Structure 1
Amino acid sequence: MTETLSGLGQFDFAGDDHVVPFQVEGLDVRGRAVQLGPMLDAILERHNYPLPVARLVAETVVLTVLLGTSLKFEGKLIIQTKGNGPVDLVVADFSTPDRVRAYARYNEEALSIAEQNGLTQPQHLLGEGILAFTIDQGAHMQRYQGIVPLDGASLEEIAGVYFRQSEQIPTKVRLGVAELLDRDENGKPRHRWRAGGMVAQFLPETLERMRQPDLPGGDGDAADDDADFEVDDLWGEASVMVQTIDADELTDPTVGTERLLYRLFHERGVKVYPPQAVYDKCSCSRERLRDVLASLSQEDIDHTVEDGMVSVTCEFCSTTYRFEATEVRPQ
C-alpha cells in the first residue's frame, strides 16, 4: 500500500545528510531524525577503521548530529568517550551551523582479542569510563559539560540518562548503522556506510507531567521504589513507538526520514520542519596549527623538525600541514 505523506508538510523529502526536526502534537513530543550517507562515508573512509570501530564512530556521529543541530547559538557540541576498553577514545563534534568531524583511538591487540571473543558491541569496545557532553559557546563564554558513566549500557541508553540528569527531559534515542556492499555505475564492488537516528523528547505544557522516577545515587544506593510511579500516558505511548524502530528502518534509503516519521506518528499528527544539511568539514587550519606549534617550547619544536620542516597531521581529517621550522620557533 502506498503511504500518503501529505500530512507531513509542504517540504520536499530531505534525503541523506539532512536533519529533520519534527513535532507530534498529539503526544506532546518534539524531536529530530536523520539518515547519514555520503557525509558519514567520507569521515570513515579516510580513517579506514576496523569494522567494529567504524560502527562505533558512526553511532557517535549520528548522536552528535542529532543534538548539535538543536543548538540555538554560534558554538560547538563535543561528545567524547574515555574508557578502558579496546577503543579508549572517541570524539565527535558539531560546529554550528553544519560542520561535523570525528575521530577514534583504539588498541589493535585489545580489539583483536575482543573480536575473537565476539565482544564488538559499543559497550564492549568502550569499557568502563565516562561519556562527556560539552557545549562551547566561544572564547568569552564558560563551557558547559555534562558527564555520565560508561557502565555497560548502549549509547542510546547513556544519552537518555544524560538528558534525564542534566535537563530533566524524558528522552528516547534510537541509533542504527548499516554497512552496504554493492557495485558502482561501472560494476566495480564498493563499500559504503549508512547510519540513522532519532531523538524524541516529551515536552508538555505542564512541566509536572515530565516527572520520572529518580535515578540511583551511583554509590550502590538502590533507586527509590518506583513500582507505583505512573509514567504519563502520552510519553509511555511515544516511548514504545520509538523503541519499535528497527535499525534497518533508520538506515534504509528507500524508507527515508519523513516516511519513517509518518509510519510511527501519523495517527497522532506528526509535523516536520525544514531540514538542516550537515557536512563533513574539519575546523583545522594552517593558521590555527601554526599558533599551536608556536606555543610549544624550543625543545619540543626541535624534536619534530626533519629536514628543516615540521609536519603536523590533523587527527580528524588526516590533512597534513608542513611548516618551515623558522615559522614556528618560539618568540
Structure 2
Amino acid sequence: MHSPLPGADDCVVPFHVEPLDVRGRVVRLGASLDAVLAHHDYPPAVKRVIGEAVVLTCLLGSSLKFEGRFILQTQTDGPVDMVVVDFVTPDKIRAYARFDAERVAEAEKGNAATPSELIGRGHLAMTIDQGLSVNRYQGVVALDGTGLEEAAHEYFRQSEQIPTRVRLAVGEEMQAGGGSSWRAGGFLVQFLPEDGGRSAQADLHPGDAPEGVDAHQVEEDDAWTEAQALAATLEDVELVDKTLTSEQLLFRLFHERGARVFDAQKVVAQCSCSRERVQGVLASFSKEERRDMIQDDGRITVNCEFCGRSYGFAAEEILGHADS
C-alpha cells in the first residue's frame, strides 16, 4: 500500500523494512504546528521545545489502535518547566508550555536556548487514557538534561523493552515580506523480529553492584545495528525539508533493503475543550470550592490553557439557583 497523501505535511507515515525486521513512523508537521503555537505568544526558543514535544507525541500517540488519548507531560527545573501535549486518536493534537520569560531570555542571550537546556532536569510522563472504564497506563522516565530524544530511548529501554531510535527536528521558515512559519519532523524505528531473543537488551545497571562486577552486556543483532547506523545518518534539515517527501526520505535510508510504506495518518490541531466539558469539570468540585471560584461580578470564568478560549458561567449555572 502507498500513502494517499505522498509527502504531505501534517501526517504520520508508517513503514516496515522486512529484511531488517524493523518498523517505524515518519512525522512531518507544518500548518498544524503553526496552529498549535498560534494560541500563545511563545518566544522562538519555547516554540522549538513545544515542536519537539508535539512531534514525539505524534510518533507515539499515532500507534494507538483504540479510541483514547496519549498525553506527554514534562515537569522540570528548566526555564520551560512544564510542557503538556495531548493527542486524541486518531488525529487531534494540542499543546501548551509554561515558562519563565526572564530565564528564557537569559538563556537566549547566553546561547543556551536549545530545547534540552530549556527543559532541564526532572521527569517525563507518558500517559495512555482509554476512558473511564479502563485504568490509565503511565510510564515515567527521568529527564537529565539530555532532551526528549534520549528520554524516549530510555523510556523504551526501561518500560517497553523494545530497541528503539528516535529523531526529532524543528525549524523556523522565514517568509517573504516578514513573518515566519514553523515546521517539525520526527523519525522512529523499532526492532521487532519474530524471534524475541534477537531483540534482547542488556539489563539495567542495578546501581548497587559490588565494585569490580562487570555490567551485563548483550551483543546487538546485525540487522538492528544496520538500522541504527542508517537512522544516525538522518540530518535535521531532511526531517523539516518540505521539498523532501516522507517516501523519498525512507528511500534514501533504506533503498538497498526496501521499505514498505503504509497509508498516511493525518494530524490536525484541534482543542477538545467545550463549554459542556468545562462545566463537567467544575461539577466535580465541592460546592464550597465552586463558591470560592465566584468572582466579584457573580460569575465563574475558566480559561483553556491549550487554546486560550474563555468560558464564563453565571453562579446559578454552577451552584444551582437555591445556592447562588
TM over 0.5: yes
Contact 2:67–2:90 (Cα < 8 Å) also in 1:
yes
Tell me the distance in 2 between the aligned counterparts of 1:242 and 1:13: 21
Asked if 2 retains the 8 angstrom alpha-carbon contact of 1:293 and 1:301, the reply is no
Contact 2:13 2:246 in 1 (8 A): yes
Of stretches 309-318 and 267-276 in structure 1, the one that deviates more from structure 2 is 309-318
Contact 1:216–1:224 under 8 Å retained in 2: no
User: How far did 1:13 drift?
Assistant: 0.6
Residue 82 (str. 1) matches residue 75 (str. 2): yes
Match of 1:320 in 2: 310
Q: Give the conservation status (yes or no) of the 8 Å contact 1:87–1:105.
A: yes
| Amino acid corresponding to residue 70 of structure 2 in structure 1 | L
Equivalent residue for 1:3?
none
Which runs of 5 or more residues in structure 2 are unaligned? Answer: none
Question: In the alignment, is the contact (CA less than 8 A) between 2:48 and 2:170 conserved in 1?
Answer: yes
Residues 52 and 224 (structure 1 numbering): CA distance in 2 closer, same or farther, change over 3 Å? farther
Cα 1:202–1:94 change in 2 (3 A) is: same
Identity of counterpart residues, as a percentage? 52
Contact 1:180 1:193 in 2 (8 A): yes
After TM superposition, the structure 1 = structure 2 runs for residues 231-242 of structure 1, keeping only pairs within 5 Å, are 231-242=220-231
Given candidates 79, 84, 95, the residue that maps to 1:91 is 84
Counterpart residue number, 2:181:
192
CA distance in 1, matches of 2:292, 2:63: 44
Compute the TM-score of the two structures, normalised by the length of structure 1: 0.91
Cα distance in 1 for residues equivalent to 2:248 and 2:225: 22
Residue 244 to residue 303, structure 1, CA distance change in 2 (3 Å): same
Task: Answer yes or no: is 1:214 the counterpart of 2:203.
Answer: yes
Distance 1:115 1:206 in 2: 48
Matches within 5 A, 1:257-272: 257-272=246-261
Q: Write the letter of the residue equivalent to 1:100.
A: I
Q: Distance in 2 between matches of 1:96 and 1:176?
A: 23
Distance 1:125 1:224 in 2: 37
Kindly indicate whether the alpha-carbon contact (under 8 Å) linking 1:173 and 1:197 is maintained by their aligned counterparts in 2: yes
CA distance in 2, matches of 1:44, 1:230: 43
Kindly indicate whether the alpha-carbon contact (under 8 Å) linking 1:216 and 1:222 is maintained by their aligned counterparts in 2: no
* Secondary structure at 2:226 match in 1: helix
Give the structure-2-normalised TM-score: 0.92
Structure 2 matches for 1:63-142, cutoff 5 A?
63-142=56-135
CA shift in 2, pair 1:10/1:248, >3 Å: closer
Offset from partner CA, 1:96-117 (integer Å, 9 cap, x none)? 1111111110112222222232
Q: CA deviation at 1:324?
A: 1.6
Change (3 A) 1:218 1:141: farther
Inter-partner Cα distance in structure 1 for 2:296 and 2:228: 57
Consecutive unaligned residues in structure 1, runs of 5 or more:
1-7
Q: Deviations over 1:107-155 (max 9, x none)?
A: 1222222223222122211222110111111101111111110112221
1:18-57 matched pairs, under 5 angstroms: 18-57=11-50
